[in-house]
Chain A
Amino acid sequence: MSKNDGKATQGKRQSAHLPRKRFYRARAHSNPLSDSHFPIPISPADVDYSSHYPHFLHSSKNDPDEDDVLPKIRFADIGCGFGGLLVKLSPLFPDTLMIGMELRDKVTEYVKERILALRASNPGQYENISVVRTNSMKYLPNYFGKGQLSKIFFLFPDPHFKEKNHRRRVISLQLLDEYAYVLEVGGIIYTITDVEELGDWMKFCLDSHPLFSVILEEEFEEDPVVKLLASATEEGQKVARNGGQTFFAVFRRVAPEDASAAL
């Protein structure tokens, strides 16, 4: 599993060894309500692209006037877990910057190590993905400007079964306002779950929100990304192994005029 290619790269633990998950065990849940202790960028302009995507910054250093043309993050995986989706998406869209957001610190560390190891053993690849530890339910607008993203992913979110905990769900009418804000018109929101009740809930929220319009199964079957939703992540693979059913809700962010016309 681990390849030692002899070319030791700099940095304390930057080897080509993929990290072992068992050293990064964490609870499946993390409390999105608690105030946490990680740094938050004050605004999207303060996001440190150079530390996340050094390769991309390095290659455009020749043109100091090219600041405005620096690529921005376009895909966000909310609750990225162990990074499965990002790793699969990276080669499909090599020029697109993507980021995973995860609340649990140990899991975030795992993903960081995984990406570094992949970059080391596959030179030039996986430079477009990164991960950040943050609470996306509170701080999404700190990372992304209006209409910045073209895709946003919610794979197997925590169902929060008890009714009193429903307000902790990552998809809600209230939070959809913010997801609509960071998504460009025409951008797509992908959700998948193996919990039918949660699937119904997410679909209901998206249907009720004026800025999202449903993408039917016939349409999204052609999207190469959709095939990854169920298979790319550890969670998805576990569901497949157990023969579980999955429930998709894929919607497009629409302009307000279009939405009211549809009503």
Chain B
Amino acid sequence: MEEKVHTGEINREAEAAPALIAVHPLKRSIALALGYELRVFDFEMDCAVSLTDEAYSPCHSDAIRAICFGANGRLFVSAGDDKLVKIWRTDTWHCIRTVCSDKRVSAVAISHDGLFVTFADKFGVVWIDTLEEDDQGQASVDKKAVPLLGHYCSIITSLKFSPDGKFIATADRDFKIRITIFPKGPLKGAHEIQNFCLGHTEFVSCLTFICPPDCNQSFLLSGSGDATVRLWDHISGHLLDTCDVGKKAGLLDSKEKVEDSPAVTDINALPDGSFVAAAIQGLHGVIILKCDVPARRLFIAKFVFVEESFVPTSLGLSSSAKLLWVVMGASNVSKLGVSKMAQLRVLSDLDKFLSNEHGDYPVILKDKDMPGGEKLLLKFQGSDHDHVTKQDAALAETATAVKVAMQNLLTKKQYSLEKRDFRKRDRNDRKFKKQQF
């Protein structure tokens, strides 16, 4: 598994990029990022959307790595390997700002008031830019983003604002979650760290906040490469509970090596924390968790099997409509016949599930019953799908490709002693050593 490549610059061209999905908080629209393409569907107009941009091309030119709705759905942001962060108005789907990053972007978030966009690059720096328009009423494309905070030389995998907007949570590949106070004047940087949430034993891959009704503060959920989901009181930094989802899903039995441990890839929750959905590598479906914050408990409520080989790459929860969208897909999967593919499914009747956990809920909707129906499927799964003859094999291939890509990106390489010595062979001080310690 050890290739002779320069550290840090692995064969990027060959790496699969997972498909991502995001749902408007009021279920007005839904967006799918597949490779460099951004596909958007408007539920209210019941049609696919055309994206427009006056200043730049409305398309990204390389894989999109992060998307999200922000400011209560008024805005949408997309960013990725083309080093561009594009902010869109969700009523017109017009791009109001394109921010240039120096490095490839790995995570994005918009502040709840819609005033700031934050994005993280592969070197662990989180940048911030203001979305306010200047006096002429035009968004200035010349202003550059400024650094907000940084995780020293670590890839930031997730970036989220707390529901009250007071904190910004950043998770990285060095097992850490940092909670920083988001100041009134953030353009000067966020220098006051509230806490670190430490406990994960592998890279942290996803974060989400919940605000249970009987509690006077919000709490944080995180998923990781260590196959666990953890519940935190981010204000104190305390770990409240750990749920060994990988183990409970039976995915760890044959795994001895840490590198093979299945990673939790996405986590979504209803704002009140009554329903939490997680996706983990190797599981052909979704895990539903429940948290009982006062009792400090996080536990699995149900495993929902979607279909054979369907391992979700991204989840989109619509809190108003009580639907969970799951997508599995990727671009750049070399062994597939096509350059990209995505499959979309919907789990519905989440409210019925919440009131009766022993019933047959949630239900996986048939294509024709999905909101947006055939039109949505055509836009999102569309023409790529037609070329894929063997569904199962294609899905399995995709699952492997995204897992390998994630490992290459986030898992630290462990070299044997001989390999390490070989890699240091060009160093000057090695040549004169007579004795090795």
Contacts and interface: CB of A to CB of B under 8 A. Distances in A.
Contacts of A164: none
Interface stretch (B69-77, B194-202, B289-297, B366-374): B194-202
B189 interface: yes
A33 interface: yes
Contacts, number: 67
Interface in A142-189: 142, 146, 173-178, 180-181
A141 B152 contact: no
A33 B155 CA distance: 12
A211 B198 CA distance: 23
Contacts of A141: 176, 178, 196, 198
A181 B176 CA distance: 15
B12 interface: no
A165 to B, nearest CB: 13
Interface in A198-226: 209-211
Given A43-B199, A141-B176, A146-B237, A174 B125 contact: yes
B154 A138 contact: yes
A167 B192 CA distance: 21
A33 B413 CA distance: 14
Contact of B174 (A34, A138, A180, A256): A138
Given A34-B7, A138-B174, A176 B429 contact: no
Interface string B276-288: 0000000000000
From A137, A146, A180, name the one whose CB has the most chain B CB atoms within 10 angstroms.
Answer: A146
A240 interface: no
B247 interface: no
Interface string A14-34: 000000000000010000111
B193 interface: yes
A180 B152 contact: no
A27 B429 contact: yes
A211 B7 CA distance: 36
A42 interface: yes
Interface in B302-333: none
Given A138-B152, A138-B174, A174-B147, A43 B193 contact: no
B195 A180 contact: no
Given A106-B437, A141-B198, A146-B237, A174 B149 contact: yes
Interface in B382-417: 412-414
B15 to A, nearest CB: 19
B35 interface: no
A42 B191 contact: no
A174 B152 contact: yes
A68 interface: no
Q: How large is the interface on A (under 10, 10 to 19, 20 to 34, 35 or more residues)?
A: 20 to 34
A67 interface: no
A5 interface: no
B273 interface: no
Contact of B191 (A34, A37, A109, A210): A210
Nearest to B124: A174
Contacts of B189: 173
Nearest to B181: A256
Given A27-B429, A109-B437, 10 more contacts: A37-B414, A44-B198, A137-B152, A141-B196, A146-B193, A174-B152, A177-B191, A177-B192, A180-B191, A210-B191
8 contacts: A44-B198, A106-B437, A137-B152, A138-B174, A146-B193, A146-B195, A177-B150, A177-B191
Interface of A: 27, 32-35, 37, 42-44, 106, 109, 137-139, 141-142, 146, 173-178, 180-181, 209-211, 256
Interface of B: 7, 125, 147, 149-150, 152-154, 174-176, 178, 180, 188-193, 195-196, 198-201, 237, 412-414, 420, 429, 437
The 8 closest A-B pairs by CB, nearest first: A174-B150, A43-B198, A181-B193, A141-B196, A35-B412, A137-B152, A177-B191, A27-B429
